[in-house]
Amino acid sequence: MLKKLWIHYFIPQEKNNHRAAILKPNFLLLFLVLYLLNQSIVKSLTIAKPGILGYSSEITAQKVLDQTNNERTKLGLTPLVYNSVLSESAKEKADDMFTNNYWAHNSPQGKTPWTFFDAVGYKYSTAGENLAKDFYNTDSLVKAWMNSPTHKANIINNKYKEIGIAVVNGTLGDVKTTLVVQHFGTPLMATAQEIISQKSDDIVVPEAVDQSSTQEITSQANVLSENKEKLISPLTLSKIFSSIIFIVLIITLFIDGFITVKNNIHRFTGSTAGHIGFLFFIFLIMLFNQQGSIF
Amino acid sequence: MIIPKEIKQKPVEYILLSLIFIIGFFLYIFINNSQSRIWIVSGVTFSYFGWSLYHHQKRGDLHTSIIIEYLLIILLGLVFLLFDPFAIF
């Protein structure tokens, strides 16, 4: 019975008019409907029961800091020093995005990133901001930033001396998500000190800032790990579902093509090789796409 | 290695199609701009559809059922991609 079904759906033969049944238009339509249904269910669940499908995240401020500094070190740049005041401004930015339900550098109320630096009293000569959401791990997040010229420019900007990071879970656009905000800065004081140090050939290391910040990172990481018991990411679910459908289709096309070529069957259907090429192109793009989005 | 007869008979058509996909994929990877990426995917899709019309017209079997099959495959691919929550568009 199972064998019959397998042959009917996946193997081209006389009974199915020499075309695997799942490659016929009605089944292709069924795949489309199933996929859209899956998307709707996942979306509805995240809205109706945020606790069921929360965006889990292994991202911590410490990991983001380490990987950001790794990228700088690779290029021979000095690592950024963690600053808890900058982290506070980053956290306020993330909270503001959740509260006012937006995803941008400038808020609908007209707040710019600099508003948050000023609000926490961080006096800077140069400053910058990187944003990210919906990422499942720190590796893919930092990789996405490094692949984007504007975000990379912030990460490897030699003018910046300090960094603050906020990793905050919340609900944006009715969907649970994790926002990551990086605030970069060069304190005015440091600029002045740099001028003095250049004159005296001496290097100034802001040790006090570094020590206080270590504690701050640890506490932030702990808060995140409490939220980590969340469950399965709907993004991952959708990704798995669509990948399965794609892989099944591509494998069936391969089997279908192989058998028809082997048996020298002529039929009026589209080009199997062409379909494989197109679906494989789409599949590669889907694999290549990073998790989440950056701003 | 089994090479389909139609590929042996019309290698230029299949080389052209492969080039469309390969160039499209590499452009997508290297151009990190959402607007341009939409154009790249649209370009590859339209090229694929155009290629299919030309290919079957030359083969003499350009039937409605075949066009529908191509449209469904294209629609399936595009819907998966456009609704992919990971896509940077």
Cβ distance B48 to A289 less than 8 Å, yes or no, reads no
Residue A131 scores a pLDDT above 60: yes
* B4 touches A at CB < 8 Å: yes
Question: For residue A208, which amino acid is it?
Answer: A
Residue B81 scores a pLDDT above 70: yes
| ipTM of predicted complex | 0.92
Residue A229 scores a pLDDT above 60: no
In whole angstroms, what is the distance from residue A288 CA to residue A162 CA?
Answer: 32
**Comparing B27 with A135, which gets the higher pLDDT?**
B27
Residue A228 scores a pLDDT above 70: no
Give me chain A's average pLDDT, please: 76
Cβ distance B5 to A286 less than 8 Å, yes or no, reads no
* A28 touches B at CB < 8 Å: yes
Residue B68 scores a pLDDT above 90: yes
Closest approach of A123 to chain B, Cα-based (Å):
33
Eight-class DSSP state of B86: T
Q: What percent of chain A has pLDDT over 70?
A: 75
Residue A218 scores a pLDDT above 50: no
* Residue from A254, A36, A253, A30 nearest B78 by CA: A36
Q: Residue ranges per domain, chain B?
A: 5-82
Cβ distance B69 to A28 less than 8 Å, yes or no, reads yes
Q: In which residue are the tokens 């140069």 written?
A: A126
Q: How many CA atoms lie within 13 A of A116 on its CB side?
A: 30
Q: Residue A192 — pLDDT band, cuts 50, 70, 90?
A: low
Give me chain B's average pLDDT, please: 84
Residue A232 scores a pLDDT above 50: yes
